[in-house]
Each structure stands twice: as structure tokens, then as C-alpha cells.
Chain A
């Protein structure tokens, strides 16, 4: 959380996609971090607290699945995979490794925001429960 806004990391090798998502989600009230590759995503995750990751499956070098695998070793934050139209197999794989949800490109903004919200809400609930536990 930054300034009470949830921090979302968007990982995609395409600049315009990053820009679009950043724009859409900023308008919706999220703090946006971008990473252009799986490697950069892991660095960013190490540098700062992030609440949710939005990651493209298809990326050069370290692809979405591989990054997810590495990510999941350290973080349990919600990850939503972004896929092209035909990636059924990859979606199943991602979900089994530990992705929380997926969304297809091209996406509806509303749909995207709704999914993100749903995931964050869940996390908030869990954290709050945890904090209350700690406090008490």
C-alpha cells in the first residue's frame, strides 16, 4: 500500500500494454508499478511491497509461467495472468502453479478492475484477520 492505494505490478514486454493498463488502473485508484520482463518483476518485488501482480504469460527470456514459479517461492501475493486468446493450456498450468486468476486480451476494463478488486478484497480480509490476531 502506498498512500492507502493498493500497489499493482504490471508485467508485460509491450510498452503500450503497460501504458494502457497503467492508465486504466491509475484511473481506478491503484498505485502502479511496471516491469518489462520477468527478471525486472522479481527485482521490483524485492525492492518494494506489492499487493498484486498482473502478468503477461508470453514474454521473451523468462516467460510468465517461469516468473510465476520463481515468484511463488517467496511471495504469496495474488497474481493474475494475462493471456492471449488461445492459451488454454498455459492458463491451466499457471493456475496449478499458483496463479489466482486469469484475464484474456483484449480485455474489458471493467472486467479487469472487478477481478483485481476481488482478489485484493480477499487479501485485505485475511490480513486484517491476521493483524487483529497480532494485536490481540
Chain B
């Protein structure tokens, strides 16, 4: 109890008490000292004790004061000194200058007192400082959870700081156990480690710095960092081993947290890199899961992508592979766990829960996931939901706000990547469609057999397909554009072209379908049919022209027209001929009847002429009918001179009348020809009458020479006249249908073309040789008929 009272903690209360006591003591002294002197008959000299007491009262007082100061603090000491002085000094001063030694003694005493007090104060201060320093150290140790120890080797004494006792839970008062008995404080592994280190320190003086697992007295296991340092004397012998033990559990946890965050950041960086280059969504999510599971930062990760056909899943576990695989199968099959359903709810984007217990109710992974932090997020971008990502944290590490933000960001990045992949696919599809469309276009327009050409409002060609270039005989678009119109069109076509252009410019109507004739680069003339219409090309109004080559068609048409005309004419002629037949029959018949009667000579001769001419008319009509007849008739081996002679006979009368003489020169040994008599008659008839006409027109008479001879497998008949001859221009068109030099109405112009047809059909040739002023010779050549051929046929 006394000790308690004396302890520094009760100072102020103490001080007050002491001060009171001091005052009291001082009064006692003062009064005692002088009271004694007031005692009558007391002589200070007589009592040795009293003398001693009186002489030494100052000393005693001094001693008390000093003792007080030392023991009870400077302030108290000073107070005492002041009180003593206050009580003693005035008396001494009053005695001054009588009692000088007394005064000096008092002053000396005062001086010593104050010096003493000052010294005591110093010590007090030092003690206080030390105490404060100690307190600071203790605080520092407490706050940093560190404690230091010292093992004095010679004495075997171990000192543990307060801080150390806080770390390991050892009682503050109890002395620390010796080192050998410390095994219970450590896990077996750690004890082993520590033992080794300490042993080493003892033998080599080497310091150690270890992380060991310490078990506190209350059973809690903490991570500590223990350091030991040896003090060795000059001889190398260890004096002591000292060191510190620090509870690093918290910092260890913080360290892990930081490492975890660093890992997460690295993972996210990897994923971000992946996102920029991975084009396949399935690979993307697989890689993401792999990255996330790396470095053991997370326990489970899974990503589900919704697909129209089969869901895509990826995922894994760092601690529960099998259960995770089963879980992924469930996801793929469309059986979704509670956590997923919840996160898909509209308005929600993610779930982040510590120890989510109920959330995993009913799930395959319930046991595994319930004990960890759960993070589930929609993979969504601008309203489109791609899937869900699920992350389960590592046991012991919880998702703090920062990590949750990171995970959200991650989910966002993955969604963005999925969006990009989707857009890329769309772009590809569009690109493909565009390419197909372009190919369609190319096939339908570019490759079209019709010539297609687009012109702008100024008439410039903006596009021309292959067919068009080919029609025009150009090898490139540039050639087409660089050749002026007047060099492409035939002269007539060019005139028409200009007319069309002018009409269009004036806004007049121009037919949208018309024909043109062009001269190709190779000189050939082609006829093209053009169809023109408005078109929107490259966004503006332009003109499309379709071209079809109708050259053959046109020729065919012309031929058909000719054919047609011929047929019509044939039919006409046929009709006419038949019409003529009856009147002719009448004329011939009645004139015959008349001739049967008795007539005067003059009448008879005239009538005869009538009859003859009627008969001749009939012969001509017969000729016409032959011409009109379409079917090829039978050929027979005949002598070519027979039809010739028939014709000459027919023409004899006319020739007489017109002063046309005929001389013939027929080879007596002429081969036969395979021919149709009447057709040959037609041919010869035509040529002969033409010759007669030419000669009589020129000079009212004529000389006809006809020869027939064989030549190299052919039989050649030549009919020459002494008419004016045929001009070179006419020579070219001699055998063309409807070509005639006669006046209108005087000849059909069909004669020679028919002859050519007949001769060609007989396998022969017909041609004319002529010089202006020297007449004309028409030659007909027919293949000779070989009797042996007949034999061949039969055989």
C-alpha cells in the first residue's frame, strides 16, 4: 500500500499531501527550535542532544527537503524549501548584522538546497524522459504489433518487452519461459525453422530473419516475422541473442490482397489484349476463362453465351474440376442456376455478394459457391444481351469495391468484344451479299449478250459492257470513248443519228426503238437495233441503250422480203396466168373455128396471125407458170441443145420481125447434162430475149451467136449479142433480183436472178462477159452427165 502511494502515478495527490505535511513539519521545526529557546532555563549549551539538534536543524531541514524532492518530485521539494526559507529567513535577517555567521550559514544552506533541488530536478527530468521514451516505445510496439526480446547468454535470462507479450499473449508479469520450452508457441514447421536458425546463430553468430507461424496463448494462430541478432564479444563468444517478433498477419493479408489485385489487373490486361484480336466468340470466352483462372487468383469462372441453336459455354475451376464440368453441361443444356436467373432480371446488371449462401440454392455448385464471394454479371452491350459471366472469388479474399469495379469493367470489355465480333460478322455477311449482288450485276449486265451502254445527259458514254464493245469491234472502253461518232456510223446512219440528237435537244419526241448501221474497226458493217430508256445510274438520271446485232436478221429479213415478194409475185403471176388461160383458150378456139370456114385470103392471113399470136401468148403464160412454180422438178439426162432449140423456135417469128439473125455452132459430140428441160428453156429464153431487147434497142437489129461445147467435164453454152454491152456497174448487179435496165413496167428484173437460181440448182454456173460497145456474152456451164454415174447409182 505504501508502495502504491509512493508510485509516480499518484503524484499530484501525493504532492498536496506532502506539502501539507511539510508545512506542518516546518512549523514544528520553527516552533520547536525557538520554543525550546523560550523554555526558561533551557540552555542550549547544557543539553548535548539539544545542541546537536539545534545546530543541525538546518541540515535536518535540508535533508528533509532534499528527500522530499528526490522522492516526491521537484515541485514538492521546492515548495518545502520555500516554506522553510520563508519561516527561517526573516528571523535571520532580523538578527543581521549581529549574527553574520548565522546569516552566511543560512545563505549557504539555501544555496546548497537549491543546487540539490536542481540536481534532483535533472534526475527527475531524465527519469521522466526515460519513462516517456519507454511509453513511446511500448506504444510503437503495440501499434506495429512488434515486440523485442533479449536472451542474456551468461545468465540465461530472457527479457520480453511489453509489445512482445501483446503479440504472443504472454502475461505481462510472468517471466518469459526459456527458449527450449517455446515449442508450444509455434507450429511444428515453424518451430523447426526457428530452431535451426537459432542454433545457427549460436554456432556462427549469424543473424536470422524468418516468417513463422506463431500460436498465441489464446490459441489464435498468427503470422509473424521473427528476427534474431547475436552480440559477440571480442573473443567470438556470444554474449547475448536479441531480436524482435512482429505480427504480420494483417500486412500479410494486405500483401496478398495487393498481389491479388495485381494479378487481376494483369488478367484484365491480358483479356483486353485478347479482345482486340480474337474474332471467334467461342474462343474468346474460353481464353477469358483461362486467363481469369491463371495465377490462382480466382476459384471458379464461367461464361455463358446465348445462341439460337446451342449455347456456348466456357469455364473452369481451380479447385473443383469435376463439379465445374457438370455445371457447365447444365448451362449448355439450358438449365440455368438461380444466380443466373437473378442477374438476367430486367434492370439488374450484376450481382456481387460476399458469402452469398441463398443465392446458390439448388445449384450443382451450391456447396462450392456458397462460401465464396460471388460475382455475376450480364454480358450486355447497348441493350443487347450476349450472355452471363460468373466469377467466384478465392476463399479468403473478398471482393472489395475496387475489385468489383474491375470485374464490372471486365464484363463490359467482354461484352464490347462480343459486340464487335457480332458486328464484324454482320459486316462480313453484308460484304458477302454485296459481292454476290455485284456478281449478279456483273453476270446480268456485264456479261449480258445484249450490248448495254449508259450515257449521260451530254451523250458521253459512262459505261459499256463487253457485248457492246464486241459488237463495235473495240477492245477497250477507252477506244469506244475516243472514237468519234462519225467514224462509227455509216454515212446514212450518221445523218439519222444527228437528226435524232437534234430532235432530242429540241425536246421533240424520238422513238425509243430504232436501228443503226455501224462500221466496225475491222471494216465490217453491222446493223444494230437500239432500245433506249431512262435509267438511274450512280444516283443520277442517265440513259440506257440496249443493243442487239440484227445484221444476220436483217439480211434474212431482206431475203425473206425478196422471197416473199417473189412468192407473192409468183402467186400473182400464177393467178394471172390462170386467169389468162380462159380468154386465151377462147381466142385460140374461136379463131380456129373461124379458120375452118371458107375465108378470103386476106382475112385468112390476118386471122392466122391472130391465132398464132394467141398461141404465143399461151406459150408465154406457160413460161410464167413455170417460173411461179416452187417445187424443184425432176431432172433427166438431156441434150442441152434441145431446150435451146425449142427456145429458138419459139423466138423465130419475133426475131424475123426484128431483124435479128441467129447462127449456131453446136458441138456434135456433146455429153448429156442432168437437167430439167423446161427450166433450161426458161433460162435460155430469158437470155435470148434479153439479148434481142438489147440489140433492137441499140440499133434496131442484131446478130446472135450461140455455141455449145464441152470443156473439161462441163458443157458450156455461150450466147453472144452485138448489143451495146454491159457497164461495169451493171455487171455487179446483173443477177440481183429486181435489177433491170428496162423502163418501168417493161420488165420485172427477175429474169436473170431466176436463171442464176436454176443454173445453181443444176450445179452449174452462169456469168456474163462484156465490153462496152462490143456486146455481151452470157455463158452457162453445166456439169456433164456421166453415164457411168447412172451405173453407180443402180449398183
Among A24, A84, A85, residue most surrounded by chain B Cβ atoms (within 10 Å): A85
Which one, B586, B596, B622, B628, contacts A16 given CB within 8 A?
Answer: B586
User: How far apart sit A106 and B574, CA to CA, in the bound complex (Å)?
Assistant: 16
Interface residue? B237 (CB, 8 A) = no
A23: Cβ under 8 A from any B Cβ = yes
A20:B589 contact, CB within 8 angstroms: yes
Does A73 make an interface contact (CB < 8 A)?
no
A24-63 Cβ-contact flags toward B at 8 Å (1 or 0): 1001000000000000000000000000000000100000
8 Å CB interface, B588-644 against A? 588-590, 592-593, 596, 614-615, 618, 621-622, 625, 628-629
B577 touches A85 (CB 8 A): yes
Residues of chain A contacted by B584 (CB below 8 angstroms): 105-106
Q: Given A85-B625, A86-B574, A86-B625, check contact A20 B581 (CB 8 Å).
A: no
Q: Is B538 an interface residue (CB 8 A)?
A: no
Residue picked from A16, A27, A107, most chain B C-beta under 10 Å? A16
Interface presence of A100 (CB below 8 A): no
| A17 interface residue (CB < 8 Å to B) | yes
Partner of A106, one of B581, B625, B629: B581
Q: Smallest CB–CB gap between A109 and chain B, Å?
A: 6
| A23 and B625 form a contact (CB under 8 A) | no
Indicate which residue in B586, B618, B621, B622 contacts A20 across the interface (CB closer than 8 Å): B586
Q: Do B578 and A106 touch across chains, with their CB atoms under 8 A apart?
A: no
Query: With A20-B593, A23-B593, A24-B593 known to touch, is A106 a contact of B588 (CB < 8 Å)?
Result: yes
B574 x A17 contact (CB < 8 A) = no
A86 touches B577 (CB 8 A): yes
Contact of A109 among B578, B589, B621 (CB under 8 A): B589
Contact check, B582 vs A86: say whether CB atoms are below 8 A apart: no
State whether the Cβ of A117 lies closer than 8 Å to any Cβ in chain B.
no
Contacts of A24 in B (CB 8 A): 589, 593
Is there a chain A Cβ closer than 8 Å to B585's Cβ? Answer: yes
**Who on chain A is nearest to B614 by CB?**
A106
Closest chain-A Cβ to B587's Cβ sits at a distance in Å of: 8
CA A72 – CA B276 in complex, angstroms? 105
Q: Which of A7-27 contact B (CB under 8 A)?
A: 14, 16-17, 20-21, 23-24, 27
Most chain B beta-carbon neighbours within 10 Å: one of A21, A58, A86, A109: A86
Residue from A23, A86, A106 having most chain B Cβ neighbours under 10 A: A106
Residues of A within 8 A of B622 (CB): 85
A58–B580 Cα distance when bound, in Å, is 13
Q: Which residues of B contact A109 (CB under 8 A)?
A: 589, 592-593
CB–CB B593/A106 < 8 A: no
Q: Which residues of B have CB within 8 Å of A84?
A: 577-578, 581
Residue among B584, B589, B621, B628 with the highest chain A CB neighbour number at 10 A:
B589
In contact, B577 and A106 (Cβ under 8 angstroms): no
CA distance A14 to B587 in the complex (A): 13
Contacts of A16 in B (CB 8 A): 582-583, 586, 590
Q: Which residues of B contact A58 (CB under 8 A)?
A: 578
Is A107 touching B585 in the complex (CB atoms < 8 A)?
A: yes
Q: Which 6 A-B pairs have the closest CB atoms?
A: A106-B585, A20-B589, A16-B586, A105-B585, A106-B588, A86-B625
A-B contact pairs, 16 of them (CB 8 A): A14-B586, A17-B586, A20-B590, A84-B577, A84-B578, A85-B621, A85-B625, A86-B574, A86-B629, A105-B582, A106-B581, A106-B584, A106-B589, A106-B614, A106-B615, A109-B589
